[in-house]
Chains A and B, each alone.
Chain A
């Protein structure tokens, strides 16, 4: 069925021809008039991609008219009337076979791609068993996205990022800290990898974006560093000159030709007489090379008859006359043409003070600036050619550059107005009073009593007596002094810790324990994070993983506690006197984490018990036939 299948058909009363082309993968209907005046009738033409067709419906055989209804995936409907039943059946079979073929081919190409990536993932992670499933699923995604999604958005949805094992692997490789976390949580503690990545989707997305970026061009000539080695005078063939070694790769040569057309021209004109290696060795010693690098030329530089010819060429590799000819064809914008505007410019002011803005002065002084500007421009041009900017856009850009923006009137800032009510204006303040009542009730002092007590304690009598009568006792002074000094010492410690991050003061054995503690702390936090994310998601599909994560959280508490107990035990063996102090110290380290774990576990258990109870009640209410099966499930 390579040749297009055509059949006469009517659509909304117009006569026309329906064509099914298996090569172009389209179903097409043209009104008959289109042949004569295709421009006018083109709007009536119906073109449907075969992949877009969702269903075909023919009128029943008993129906007098032979009609075919075609539905597309976009829910559009077309009804065609065919001259007779035979034509209808033929069209229907052709279409249905073409549709299935189209779907198949789409899924096979996608499946092939998916199988490739799955194989990569399987090789690195080791899940060959799952491969049977993934291609079909991925194929479904691919065929959907190929028709609708734009190519740059492909693979960026949360679900796609979550299954992209290859991306995850490469992210882990590039981020060693994350890799450590992954090893601890997923490999050692069997946190499902999916849970691990679910909380890190932004990281994955960023990494996927990073991977699509390419490194741009750079100044090749500057990156080639000649390595000079001095050779002994006696063996030197010509002179006892320093020998310069330059290593060049074909890629670099290509880049040099791209960025410096002068070199390309010199190469084209001279290499048949010269040998390639000789050309390059002479080039790197020549004044031309120095000039292109942006170095200052001096009289002492060696003269090279071949290379010096190109010294006065501009960067495009053109002589002055050639440039002239070239310029006749290209239009320089009047505004930026310095040479053309020279007469209009005052010689004192205008462009005169700026040496870079004079048409042609001493080339040497400006050579380094010009060299780099031209090179930058060239590199940008090369990149822009790749991006294929349309002509109008570049013109627009140029115009924008020419605008004198500091002369433009200042645009008024567009602010979003905020309309604030004081909380006392709105109804919520009233509820505030209730709560303060509650608080006051806890403190059951009557106002009059408080006031009387306070008035009684008012300072009375001569000032001198007041001041001398209330000297605190010496024990109070000592207590107060101790507290202040303790605060100072504590503060000093924290400030020192801030300055010296390395725990130099802790002994080696302690350091090992602390490292262990840090590790299990990090894992515990990781699990807590996942637990709360799953717990608060409110998604029934994740109910199972919540249970699993809750168990993991509990386990992480056991691990942490084990480390602490071991440490306390070792301290108890060594130095029983310091036991209490050490306990307190360790508790300060891990207390918060343990508290967090306990609170998570308690929240989970309480809610689980409550929901189980509710479920039981519900089942009892429902009773009846499915009672047996449901209880078996629980």
Chain B
């Protein structure tokens, strides 16, 4: 393995020490459950298989260390829901789970900290003992695994079976499903959750920092259109970067621009799955190591990153954009009303006319054509005379 990951140069004892410390790590899995991704005729991988793979992965994470923790979020097309820990235990997340409050960076979680830290699986075993699917087969499973697996499957079932067509349809056209999912909202909630679990930002020394370092987010994304959520997603990315929380992206389906940036900025892994059916293998090989281990590994992430942005006016991904020099908003075309649509700064008409100039390749009338010929003669010689330059300016 050393030959592959290039870790041969790393002094062995340095991470052996860290491993001995057995620090717990928190993994937040965000599963994109938008019907547009999973509900097509022949999805690259069925939702059932994906959930099974994720559960295997989650169980492996829990198995690595006795005190490892996990949370699973579902990002629906218009809502975000905690799958694990389930709703009853974390009532405080209800208000944040409606997915509409997407544009925050973790402050919400800090406020809602009173909601209780009852994520210890052993806290109330009686609650899940009586759940319907825990039969004889469940008895043979490690209890922590079983608790997580059952909760995730139950909650997911509850979430999706309650979903009606109206929930996922576009407001303008009820027959067509929205293409997007609440990824930005899910990331916000995940960051808030991490913030709460690891003691918040105010602790600047001691164990809390190491605990925060050990948190990470894994996003399994199927929908490709996130342009409308550009700003909230970028805010989440920068918040995660500040919190030193890597965002891993496991991408099924088409590539998504901003998610590549998310992984790159936060030091996470971005893999676009060429063979989605092998999801389990991808998860186990690429996404299992936590942040501290990653400093010693060569990460299996893409080297080329699409750094494009989406414009604020039409939410399109742009190759060439126009940036307001006051508020840094991005636009796909020069503003028609000569002022910034976001901050109302009035732009210099001269500068604007520079942007909208049309190329002129042919002189419009005969009289000027002579001048063109003359200019051509001048430029034909090795060094042009100074005179035409002065005239041109």
Contacts and interface: CB of A to CB of B under 8 A. Distances in A.
13 contacts: A159-B389, A162-B386, A163-B389, A194-B379, A432-B228, A457-B38, A458-B157, A491-B303, A535-B359, A536-B359, A538-B358, A539-B360, A544-B376
Nearest to A466: B52
Nearest to B168: A447
Contacts of B4: 485, 488-489
B174 A447 contact: yes
Interface string B216-247: 00000000010010000000000000000000
B211 interface: no
B149 interface: yes
A187 to B, nearest CB: 9
B243 to A, nearest CB: 24
Contact of A477 (B56, B281, B299, B392): B281
Interface in B339-393: 341-344, 357-364, 366, 368-369, 371-372, 375-376, 379, 381-387, 389-393
B135 interface: yes
Interface of A: 125-127, 129-130, 133-134, 137-138, 141, 158-159, 162-163, 190, 192-194, 418-421, 423, 426, 428, 431-433, 435-437, 439-441, 443-455, 457-467, 469-473, 476-477, 479-481, 483-485, 487-492, 494-495, 535-548, 604, 607-608, 611-612, 615, 626, 629-630, 633
A445 B165 CA distance: 12
B302 A546 contact: no
Contact of B160 (A458, A471, A541): A458
A546 B313 contact: no
Question: Which of A130, A432, A443, A463 has the most chain B CB atoms closer than 10 A to its own CB?
Answer: A463
B296 interface: no
A537 B300 contact: no
A461 B382 CA distance: 83
Contact of A457 (B46, B137, B165, B279): B46
Contact of A443 (B36, B314, B372): B36
A431 B313 CA distance: 8
List of 8 A-B pairs having minimum Cβ-Cβ separation, nearest first: A538-B357, A480-B278, A450-B39, A163-B386, A454-B39, A480-B281, A476-B278, A447-B177
A273 B371 CA distance: 79
A487 B175 CA distance: 41
Contact of B35 (A163, A450, A477, A604): A450
A490 to B, nearest CB: 6
Contacts of A541: 371, 375, 391-392
B73 interface: no
Contact of A483 (B173, B275, B298): B275
Given A477-B278, A484-B282, A544 B372 contact: yes
A494 B303 contact: yes
A418 B343 contact: yes
A445 B39 contact: yes
B282 A193 contact: no
A239 to B, nearest CB: 62
Nearest to B283: A480
Interface centre among A126, A485, A491, A494 (most CB of B within 10 A): A491
Given A472-B277, A483-B274, A543 B313 contact: no
Nearest to B390: A159
Contacts of B295: none
Given A432-B314, A450-B39, 19 more contacts: A126-B383, A127-B385, A193-B383, A431-B313, A440-B173, A447-B174, A448-B175, A451-B165, A458-B48, A464-B140, A467-B52, A470-B53, A472-B281, A479-B274, A488-B4, A540-B363, A543-B363, A544-B376, A548-B379
Contact of A428 (B313, B386, B392): B313
Contacts of B390: 137, 141, 159, 163
Interface string B1-41: 00011100000000000000000000000000101101111
A529 B43 CA distance: 45
A460 B153 CA distance: 8
A41 B393 CA distance: 46
B257 to A, nearest CB: 14
A545 B363 CA distance: 12
B342 to A, nearest CB: 6
Contacts of B228: 432, 436
Nearest to A136: B387
A492 B298 contact: yes
Interface in B141-199: 141, 146, 149-150, 153, 156-157, 160-161, 163-165, 168-170, 172-179
